[in-house]
């Protein structure tokens, strides 16, 4: 079992996985979002030896596509994959699940949580999009409808939001322990959460680039609150 982070820490330590680039806009924006929410971000990169036992929550961030072998498909010609990162983040997700750490998945991370827990992905969305666009956008442009009975609707305080879109894959089959709770106009899954009371949430968009919107910052505030609860349970 993971050791509980020290209660006297004013800000819970939340691990953030990602690429190994020296400059990562996603990491910077997640770090700021967590700081604004009352948490302290700890960057987790390939081979850096981060002690996961010191964490009270975890963010699995966005990036390159997940290798299709992880959900029983063949890789695409010209696909951008990072097998080392797949392995590192799978280890982090397994650790979080074993120790009941609060978990937030962003874009690729949302997809990988579902994959690790037994779900599958659409390897490409090009032919599935009719009402929505394949063009990427950092700014909010895509409408997402949220199930009003889900945890996500309570967190963001709305059942319809507008988000950015930076993905070419999406969840196809949802893992048994998860529920799909948000969809775009093509009914492509845009958010998942634990089917029980575990603190697991995944979103297909990038809230870290939209942290100036109250609805998006609330995702990081939710994770911070869950991390504090996790610490208090072990006090």
Structural domains of the chain in order of their starting residue, each with its CATH number: 13-233 (3.40.50.880)
160 is catalytic: no
- Here the tokens at position 198 are 């575990």
Return the pLDDT at 72: 87
Residue 35: what are its φ and ψ, rounded to 5°?
A: -65, -45
> Per the residue annotation, which of 122, 208, 211, 231 is the catalytic one?
208
Return the pLDDT at 124: 85
Return the pLDDT at 148: 96
In this prediction, the residues of the chain whose per-residue pLDDT falls under 50 are 1, 5-8
CA proximity to 48, closest of 103, 92, 99: 92
- Here the tokens at position 66 are 């997940």
122 is catalytic: no
Distances (CA, A) of 141 to 133, 153, 155: 10, 19, 21
CA proximity to 226, closest of 151, 145, 118, 117: 151
Return the pLDDT at 5: 47
CA proximity to 190, closest of 116, 87, 130, 110: 110
Return the pLDDT at 27: 96
> Per the residue annotation, which of 89, 92, 107, 211 is the catalytic one?
107
What does the alpha-carbon distance between residue 18 and residue 24 come to, in Å, rounded to a whole number?
Answer: 9
Return the pLDDT at 175: 97
Return the pLDDT at 119: 96
CA proximity to 109, closest of 145, 60, 63: 60
- Here the tokens at position 141 are 């442009």
Return the pLDDT at 204: 97
* Model pTM score: 0.93
* pLDDT tens digits for range 49-106: 778 999 999 999 999 899 999 998 888 777 788 899 999 999 999 999 999 999 999 9
187 is catalytic: no
Contact at 8 Å (CB) between 188 and 143? no
What does the alpha-carbon distance between residue 161 and residue 214 come to, in Å, rounded to a whole number?
Answer: 11
Rounded to whole angstroms, the maximal C-alpha distance in the chain is 52
């Amino acid at each position: 079992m993971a050791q509980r982070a020290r209660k006297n820490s004013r800000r819970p330590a939340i691990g953030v996985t990602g690429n190994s680039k020296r400059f990562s806009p996603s990491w910077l924006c997640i770090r700021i979002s967590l700081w604004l929410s009352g948490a302290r971000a700890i960057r987790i990169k390939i081979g850096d030896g981060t002690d996961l036992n010191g964490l009270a929550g975890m963010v699995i961030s966005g990036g390159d596509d997940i290798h299709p072998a992880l959900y029983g498909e063949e890789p695409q010609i010209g696909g951008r994959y990072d097998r080392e990162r797949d392995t590192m983040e799978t280890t982090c997700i397994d650790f979080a699940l074993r120790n009941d750490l609060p978990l937030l998945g962003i874009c690729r991370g949302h997809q990988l949580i579902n994959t690790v827990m037994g779900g599958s992905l659409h390897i490409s969305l090009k032919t599935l999009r009719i009402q929505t666009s394949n063009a990427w956008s950092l700014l909010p442009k895509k409408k997402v409808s949220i199930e009003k009975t889900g945890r996500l609707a309570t967190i963001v305080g709305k059942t319809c939001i507008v988000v950015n879109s930076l993905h070419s894959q999406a969840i196809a089959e949802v893992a048994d322990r998860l529920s799909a709770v948000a969809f775009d106009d093509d009914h492509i899954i845009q958010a998942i959460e634990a089917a029980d009371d575990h603190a697991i949430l995944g979103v297909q968009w990038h809230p870290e680039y939209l942290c100036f919107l109250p609805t998006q910052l609330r995702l990081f505030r939710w994770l911070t609150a869950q991390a504090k609860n996790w610490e208090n349970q072990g006090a």
